Amino acid sequence: MEVKTKTVENDEVVIKFVGDSGDGMQLIGTLLSETAAQVGNDIATFPDFPAEIRAPQNTVAGVSGFQVRFGSNKINTPGDFCDFLIAMNPASLKANLKWCKLGATIILNIDSFDEKSFAKAGYTKNPLDDNSLSKYNIIPVQMNKMSKDAVGHLNLDNKSIDKSKNIFALGMVYYLFSLPIEHTINFFEKKFKKKPEIVELNKTLLKEGFNYADTIEAVNAKIYVPPSKVEKAKYRNITGNVATAWGFLAAAERSGRPLFLGSYPITPATEILMELSKYKNLGAKVLQAEDEIAGICAAIGASFTGSLALTTTSGPGLSLKSEAIGLAVMTELPLVIVDVQRAGPSTGLPTKSEQSDLYQALWGRNGECPVIVISASSPSNCFYYAYMAAKYSLEHMTPVILLTEGYIGFGSQLFKIPRVADLPSINPPIAKPNDPNYKPYNRDERLVRQWAIPGTDGLRHRIGGLEKESGIGNVSIDPQNHELMVKYRAEKVEKVADFIPEQEVEGNAEGDLLVVSWGSTYGAVNAAVVEMQNAGKKVSHAHIHYIMPLPKNIHQLFSKFKKIVVCELNAGQLVNYFRMKEPDFKYEQHNKVQGLPFNTNELTEKFNKILAN
């Protein structure tokens, strides 16, 4: 008699796919997250790439992973530890077992478990035989063999079949989590419409994995995650880099300024360039320059001609752009520099995330050279902070550095698509033709000069990297004038505090401990704070998005708490900035410099220690 597998309802689940960098973990992770989004779950993802290009196969250094968390409630992080791990080889098991919850289900491709692979992964024994996995629910699967058997009739080469075994694993996961396979089949039919044999290969393996999971005795229950109760609207799964690109497209439309991106490919920022290059039909102009310096200099030239000018990079590229940023500060032209941060210094860990470029963003230029510094905190709100970075740059005629991170640039989240007409207006101070009172460095009450677009009648003017005479704009070497212009440029940036939102606090406006964070740490920090609030602790959370200048109410907010702790993925850059800007307070700090995000447990442990002391 056939026994039907029962279905258990869960609020959320965390799944991680891991294997060699050629095993397609990013693809199936993305397909899973998009399917979960399609059925109405909220999602967050965490792609985890090898730091080396072409690291040796079957080694821990070559492991690639993709973590997906989906649920029926609001999801802010991809999760600390996984409920299900799908490991394609011994190295991926070894590298990721520490991220599994006790009792987690682990699906293993045992066709890759041989003596040679054990040695490369650093195992001295077969982990299936040494009792090291006794605390987990292990499901061994012959993925290579079963994939070949399933598609033998298609007469395809072994390489194509071997590369597609990840789809067999994905089919199993769809069955185990009560997810439909139709969305993924539609993807195959669209992606490979000119290669029907590849469509058939993937459809067959997806269905074979789905059906095989129905026969596994080790699985006594399927899991069903109900849809999230979200506002009715149009949503999509979006990465931080794509959201950043879309934010700039919206800003160009709202401001009436043509968009120009001058950039050079660099991990993990390249996808912004790639995404914007798709939108020539919206007037976007994209130049892939020969190097970082050429990219930003081209953008400054485009800004001079009246464009919303952008350049994108990561930490090493920001270093190279520093002199040109100074040129944009001196000429007082709008320019947005996006730094998708990665672990450094030098090449560092190019695929790992970090928050270690804050000092560079604040001060990494010669001379007195202030710029606005803004930070995004999630894949979806990269859209809004890209938009606001463009707004403040255009309206205040000064460069803005927008800090995101590899963690949110590559990660994805459910994104509610807004109407551009509902976004804040953007009003650049463009000079009118034949204005008899026009002078290139006259300033309004915000200390902002007007933007004279070349070719506008009667507005010929001089501009360049040498110091300007106040108001008139001629080259000046007068000491008093230089000091005055330095003061103006600094005060102009500080006056932006009158236009940015006041800092909000999540929780009570006063209490025993205020936890301060910035950037990608929002989700983990917020989860830890909420956990402590539910335990009756007087803990609140302030997440900083506007760093230079700081919100006007920051001093008043800090004064309402007995203790302040600043959490960041560096050695203490924001906390030291606070010690300079708000020296009246004593700051605790919690730092992590491992190329990894915070997890909730380490944060709650730290916060409890601070309260206990």
Element (H, E) at 45: strand 42-48
121 in a structural domain: yes
Whether 412 and 474 share a structural domain:
no
Q: Of 294, 401, 426, which Cα lies nearest the Cα of 339?
A: 401
pLDDT of residue 4: 62
How far apart (Å, rounded) are the C-alpha atoms in residues 222 and 171? 13
pLDDT of residue 153: 85
28 in a structural domain: yes
Whether 349 and 315 share a structural domain:
yes
Residue 594 is part of a domain; what is its CATH number? 3.40.50.920
How far apart (Å, rounded) are the C-alpha atoms in residues 608 and 149? 55
Whether 82 and 178 share a structural domain:
yes
pLDDT of residue 229: 82
Element (H, E) at 68: strand 63-71
| Contacting residues for 556 by C-beta, under 8 A, at least 6 apart | none
Ramachandran region, residue 587 (left: φ > 0; alpha: ψ -120 to 50; beta: rest)? beta
- Residue ranges in the chain modelled with pLDDT below 70: 1-4
Whether 178 and 256 share a structural domain:
no
Whether 70 and 39 share a structural domain:
yes
Rg (Cα) of the chain, in Å, rounded?
27
Whether 128 and 198 share a structural domain:
yes
Kindly give the residue spans of alpha helices, DSSP state H, lying in 256-357.
270-276, 292-304, 315-320, 322-331
Whether 591 and 493 share a structural domain:
no
- Give the C-alpha distances (Å, rounded to integers) separating 308 from 248, 291, 529: 8, 20, 39
Cβ(125)–Cβ(152) below 8 Å:
no
How far apart (Å, rounded) are the C-alpha atoms in residues 489 and 482? 11
Q: Which two tokens stand for residue 149?
A: 């058997």
Q: Which two tokens stand for residue 195?
A: 């290669």
pLDDT of residue 2: 47
Q: Which of 159, 190, 224 is the last residue of a domain?
A: 224
Please provide the size of the chain in residues.
613
Whether 294 and 217 share a structural domain:
no
Q: Which of 422, 442, 465 is the last residue of a domain?
A: 422
230 in a structural domain: no
| Distance, CA of 150 to chain centre | 38
231 in a structural domain: no
How far apart (Å, rounded) are the C-alpha atoms in residues 344 and 315? 7
Cβ(516)–Cβ(484) below 8 Å:
no
How far apart (Å, rounded) are the C-alpha atoms in residues 352 and 61? 13
Q: Of 63, 66, 61, 64, which Cα lies nearest the Cα of 16?
A: 66
How far apart (Å, rounded) are the C-alpha atoms in residues 197 and 285? 38
> Number of folded domains in the chain?
4
Residue 189 is part of a domain; what is its CATH number? 3.40.920.10
11 in a structural domain: yes
How far apart (Å, rounded) are the C-alpha atoms in residues 328 and 26? 38
- Give the C-alpha distances (Å, rounded to integers) separating 16 from 42, 66, 263, 333, 595: 17, 6, 33, 45, 18
137 in a structural domain: yes
How far apart (Å, rounded) are the C-alpha atoms in residues 587 and 166? 48
How far apart (Å, rounded) are the C-alpha atoms in residues 499 and 360? 24
Whether 551 and 580 share a structural domain:
yes
pLDDT of residue 308: 98
pLDDT of residue 54: 76
Cβ(492)–Cβ(448) below 8 Å:
yes
Whether 206 and 244 share a structural domain:
no
Q: Of 182, 206, 207, 202, which Cα lies nearest the Cα of 192?
A: 202
Whether 347 and 246 share a structural domain:
yes
**Span 459-476, pLDDT tens digits:** 998 888 999 999 999 999
Q: Which domain holds residue 518?
A: 511-612
Residue 270 is part of a domain; what is its CATH number? 3.40.50.970
572 in a structural domain: yes
Tokens 């879309």 label which residue?
A: 246
Whether 464 and 597 share a structural domain:
no
146 in a structural domain: yes
Q: Which of 451, 479, 500 is the last residue of a domain?
A: 500
